[in-house]
């Protein structure tokens, strides 16, 4: 509303910041090639979105596959924690964008450095939350399992994992958010596909309506990804509904 009003009233120049009406028309044309509003980008969106989605989900999957076991290790073993945790905390504090050059050196151009960067960035929120989730498990719950004769594997699968799952899901949501941030950064360089590339290309050829439409669509995909995780959480964690203080 405020956005449309300020554009209509001439507070900002429409050629620099197009109004929401123009941006939505552009987005629709980007996706469906129905009006030509996106100019030479008309109908390009599905291809770029697919490329980005593949990178995000591949990177996210790799990150989670590594982060959950490592997080459980850190949370349940003092020795493991001492060995691994300082390294993780150190790496975590290097801005992920700082890894861009090394990713290109290691993996060259194309999908692989992008997926690597996304996986690296998405690893940290899940590993930190998983280890926290394991650490905060009530000791009596573990003792209950011991007393009822559960072996190490059964304790892991039937007690530690389910008990840590609410915290793990928090990590997954944060990781997914980070993955969408990183896909844009990663696609600025070294690739010729993806929404980040589209955004950067629109910037270089000065098409602000396409830039805004692309940004909005990235936000939308990120939002849908988050809802997807919440949906899975709802099904898996029926016992642990997300409530607020006011119910």
Partner 1 sequence: MAEIALRDVRKTFGRGRDAVTALDGCTFTVPDGEFVTLLGPSGCGKTTALDLVAGFTASTAGRVTVGGREVTRPGPERAVVFQDSALFPWLRVEDNIAFGIRMAGRPAREIRERVDRLLERVGLTEFRRRYPAELSGGMRQRVSLARVLALDSAVLLMDEPFGALDAQTRGLMQEFLTGIWERDRRTVLFVTHDLDEAVFLADRVLVMTARPGRIKQELQVDLPRPRAPDIMATPRFHALRDEIRRLVRDEAIRTMRPLATERGAS
Residues of this chain that bind partner 1 (CB under 8 A): 138, 140-141, 143-151, 154, 158-159, 162-163, 165, 237-240
CB 176 within 8 A of CB 229: yes
Burial of 203 (0-12, 13-18, 19+ CB in 10 A): middle
Nearest distance from C-beta of residue 127 to partner 1, angstroms: 22
Nearest distance from C-beta of residue 9 to partner 1, angstroms: 54
Nearer to partner 1, 89 or 154 (CB): 154
For 34-91, the DSSP string reads -SSTTGGGTT-HHHHHHHHHHHHHHHHHHHHHHHHHHHHHHHH-HHHHHHHHHHHHHH
Nearer to partner 1, 98 or 149 (CB): 149
Nearer to partner 1, 15 or 138 (CB): 138
Nearer to partner 1, 34 or 144 (CB): 144
Nearest distance from C-beta of residue 149 to partner 1, angstroms: 4
Nearest distance from C-beta of residue 43 to partner 1, angstroms: 47
> How far apart are the two ends of the chain, measured CA to CA in Å?
31
CB 43 within 8 A of CB 32: yes
Q: Could you give the CA distance from residue 70 to residue 130 in angstroms, rounded to a whole number?
A: 8
C-alpha Rg value of the chain to the nearest Å: 22
CB 120 within 8 A of CB 165: no
203 Cβ neighbours under 8 A, 6+ residues apart:
211
223 Cβ neighbours under 8 A, 6+ residues apart:
none
Nearest distance from C-beta of residue 160 to partner 1, angstroms: 11
Nearer to partner 1, 2 or 238 (CB): 238
Nearer to partner 1, 95 or 151 (CB): 151
The CA-based angle 132-233-47, given to 5 degrees, is 105
Nearest distance from C-beta of residue 163 to partner 1, angstroms: 7
Nearest distance from C-beta of residue 143 to partner 1, angstroms: 6
Nearer to partner 1, 98 or 239 (CB): 239
């Amino acid at each position: 509303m405020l956005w449309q009003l300020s554009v209509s009233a001439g507070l900002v120049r429409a050629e620099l910041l197009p109004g929401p009406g123009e941006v939505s028309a552009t987005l629709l044309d980007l996706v469906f090639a129905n009006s030509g509003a996106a100019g030479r980008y008309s109908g390009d969106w599905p291809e770029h979105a697919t490329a980005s989605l593949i990178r995000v989900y591949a990177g996210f999957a790799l990150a989670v596959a590594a982060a959950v076991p490592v997080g459980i290790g850190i949370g349940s073993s003092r020795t493991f924690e001492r060995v691994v945790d300082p390294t993780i905390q150190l790496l975590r504090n290097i801005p992920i964008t700082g890894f861009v050059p090394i990713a290109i050196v290691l993996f060259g151009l194309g999908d692989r450095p992008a997926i690597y960067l996304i996986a690296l960035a998405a690893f940290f929120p899940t590993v930190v939350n998983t280890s926290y989730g394991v650490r905060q498990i009530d000791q009596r719950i573990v003792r209950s399992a011991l007393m009822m004769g559960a072996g190490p594997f059964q304790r892991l699968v039937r007690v530690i994992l389910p008990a840590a799952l609410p915290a793990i899901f928090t990590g997954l949501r944060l990781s997914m958010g980070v993955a969408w941030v990183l896909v844009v950064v990663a696609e600025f360089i070294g690739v010729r596909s993806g929404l980040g590339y589209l955004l950067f290309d629109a910037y270089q050829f000065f098409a602000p309506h396409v830039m805004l439409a692309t940004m909005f669509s990235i936000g939308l995909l990120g939002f849908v990804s988050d809802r997807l995780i919440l949906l899975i959480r709802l099904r898996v964690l029926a016992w642990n509904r997300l409530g607020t203080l006011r119910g």
